[in-house]
Amino acid sequence: MATTPQTTGLIGSDGFHLHPADEAAMLEEMAHYEQPQAACIEALKIVQRRHGWVPDEAIVAIARVLGIGPAAVEGVATFYSLIFRQPVGRHVVLVCDSSSCFLTGFDELKRALVSQLGIDYGQTTDDDRFTLLPVCCLGACDGAPALMIDADTYGPVSAGDLPDLLEGYP
Amino acid sequence: MRQAIPGQRDSRRYRSRLLQPEAERHADTHPLTWRLRDDGEAVWLDDYLRKDGYQSVRKALDDGDPQAVIASMKAANVRGRGGGGFSTGLKWSLTLQGGEMPRGYLVCNADEMEPGTFKDRLLMEQQPHLLIEGMILGAYANNSCYGYIFLRGEYVESARVLNLALDEAREAGWLGADINGSGFDFDIAVHTGAGRYICGEETALINSLEGKRANPRAKPPFPGQSGAWGKPSVVNNVETLCNVPAVILNGADWYQTLSGGRTDDGGTKLYGISGPVENPGLWELPMGTTGAEILERAGGMCGNRQLKAWLPGGASTGFLLPEHLQLPLDFDTVGKEGSRLGTGLLTVVPDHQSMVALMRNLEEFFARESCGWCTPCRDGLPWVVKLLQALEWGEGEEGDIELLDKLAADCGPGLTFCAHAPGAAMPLQTALKHFRHEFEQGVRKPGSKAHQDPIPVGEV
């Protein structure tokens, strides 16, 4: 693969285009730390905010911006549960399956989600609208059972609340 | 198309709240929460300054003696509120500084992910300046040049509020160069994570901060000797840091009196309770408050349910029984009962709940969140889940329970790099101790049908 200098805004292969604003945001993040690698997670999130997920080509592009190997970036990308290495729907539903939610109706809520969305964990609806994933305790245990849709936390949520909640995310 | 009912969606939005009205909270008895507003809005800088905000920083910087800050913290015996219970003053006294040692980092552990824990979120969303004030004091005591708030990615509102508050503090000269004319420089950035419970382990957190996989590091060296980028680094929980300003302003003796003789530990604690209780919530109460009082504040169990067991401070603490409700909830007392205070947020288990199913849920969490670094944790915990799943289905084999004992013992303290595996072992061991008969009922009887469905492999 030919080496591409940094800051061209056209890093990557297969037509993947690292947006110049994203590259600039990564460079700004790097300034917060002693070593550029520390901006790795944020760089992945920057790409994800624009594309919804992190394609292979973006891994290479981020590695070049940070000045580290693609394997290091890939290692990080595959470790963290909120970095998506395959396409997800327009909205991600994170359902809390930890103890307090488990004790207050998680099973019923999960069943209702599976039935209303027609998908299970790790799957995306046919219309690319929703992806369903489990998440660690959301720290909303006094509002259990809880879930997140994109950046919004809801709780307590009953199965009956779901149609109205989901409708807000077209 | 069905018409959405306006406002219904918003009514389901989760909001962090304290179940104590302003009238019940006072500066001399509720150092963590007396400034909080009844309307739940954040206490911004103007409001905070009217309520003695940043006075402890002014005092400490005017005194000009970082060692005195450490001495006060030691005397107050503020113990780590993230669950470890280690003396904060002692931790700070072990941070390398002086001579040729470069200035290091102060890292606030805001990766609140312990199941059943929702306290740091309240402090960050509603009172960001108290945390910032505590961090400035921590940085001053430990000679830290820069601070990071390591915040879990899901805490979107905390990030918004903290960043606005940091801007306010910077603008007003409480952060940046030459703070309050003292010659002391310090600033803070919010570093948001991307999931994984293990990031709350302090050395894994440092790896994550450096942009690496969040595997724990071997100790020693401890972070205070060599932490982020090899510099002396201090990692403290949000609630711990929020205790520092009042200690510095009012003194260690005052702090000790807050627990009112209930325990040797001083101060107050953000206690809480969740699970099937009438009013789950959070309160700032004297350290050493009993589980009974917290359960009573929550209005007791839901409906006609009885309490079967409870976790005193998150998924990684051991199960206690109803008879333990009278114990003062402090680090040493709970430790003597074979559990840990942990985060001090109780999870209650109702009488009709199968302990086997609950343990399966807890161990699924620990198995999924294992970073995979150590074998007993990476391989042992999924094995534990499979055994529990089989017992839950009534398809356990003879010897399965003994195997659970063995696997839990193999995850014990000192056998793995970090406290994740011991944290997974403690609830399992206490559940097996107190409710062994429930597990025994899951063992298949001789002559009954063989497994109808094979136990799933590779699903955890």
CB contact under 8 A, B272 and A142: yes
Interface of A with B in 4-43 (CB under 8 A): 32-35, 37-42
Chain B neighbors of A146, CB-CB under 8 A: 14
Chain A neighbors of B353, CB-CB under 8 A: 103
Please write the tens of the pLDDT for every residue from B345-371. Answer: 999 999 999 999 999 999 999 999 999
CB contact under 8 A, A167 and B4: yes
Interface of A with B in 116-155 (CB under 8 A): 134-144, 146, 148, 151-155
Residue A11 is predicted with a pLDDT of: 46
Chain A neighbors of B14, CB-CB under 8 A: 138, 140, 143, 146, 153-155
Of A79, A152, A155, the CB nearest to B196: A79
Residue B448 is predicted with a pLDDT of: 65
d(CA B37, CA B42): 7
Instruction: Report how far apart, in Å, the C-alpha atoms of B391 and of each of B179, B319, B385, B395, B397 are.
Output: 60, 19, 10, 5, 8
Average pLDDT of chain B is 95
Domains in chain A with CATH codes: 1-87 (1.10.10.1590), 91-167 (3.40.30.10)
Q: What is the DSSP string of A77-114?
A: HHHSTTS-SS---SEEEEEE-SHHHHTTTHHHHHHHHH
Question: Which site among B10, B11, B12 would you substitute to test the A interface, given the most A Cβ atoms closer than 10 Å to its Cβ?
Answer: B12
Rg (chain A; Cα; Å): 18
Read off the pLDDT of each residue in B411-420 and give the average, rounded to a whole number.
94
**How would you class B410 by CB atoms within 10 Å of its CB: exposed for 0-12, middle for 13-18, buried for 19 or more?**
middle
Residue B447 is predicted with a pLDDT of: 66
Residue, of B6 and B176, whose pLDDT is higher: B176
Please write the tens of the pLDDT for every residue from B60-107. Answer: 999 999 999 999 999 999 999 999 999 999 999 999 999 999 999 999
Nearest CA in chain A to B316: A99
Instruction: For residue B444, give the nearest of B403, B385, B391 by alpha carbon.
Output: B391
pTM greater than the 0.80 cutoff? yes
Of B154, B208, B275, the CB nearest to A104: B275
d(CA B49, CA B51): 5
CB contact under 8 A, B118 and A155: no
Please write the tens of the pLDDT for every residue from A16-40. Answer: 889 999 999 999 999 999 999 999 9
Nearest CA in chain A to B13: A154
Residue B5 is predicted with a pLDDT of: 53
CB contact under 8 A, B113 and A139: yes
Residue matched to tokens 């401070």: B313
Q: Smallest CA–CA separation between A66 and chain B, in Å? A: 10
CB contact under 8 A, A34 and B117: no
Of A44, A151, A164, the CB nearest to B8: A164
CB contact under 8 A, A139 and B282: no
At residue B3, does pLDDT exceed 60? no
Chain B neighbors of A135, CB-CB under 8 A: 154, 195
Question: Which site among A26, A54, A79, A157 would you substitute to test the B interface, given the most B Cβ atoms closer than 10 Å to its Cβ?
Answer: A79
CB contact under 8 A, A35 and B311: no
**Contact between B349 and A103 (Cβ < 8 Å):** yes
Average pLDDT of chain A is 92
Chain A neighbors of B4, CB-CB under 8 A: 164, 167-168
**Contact between B7 and A168 (Cβ < 8 Å):** no
CB contact under 8 A, B274 and A100: yes
Residue A92 is predicted with a pLDDT of: 98
Chain A neighbors of B362, CB-CB under 8 A: 99
Q: Smallest CA–CA separation between B208 and chain A, in Å? A: 8
CB contact under 8 A, B116 and A76: no
**Contact between B85 and B312 (Cβ < 8 Å):** no
Instruction: Phi first, then psi: give them for residue B251, nearest 5 degrees.
Output: 95, 160
Would an 8 Å CB–CB cutoff place A158 in contact with chain B? Answer: no
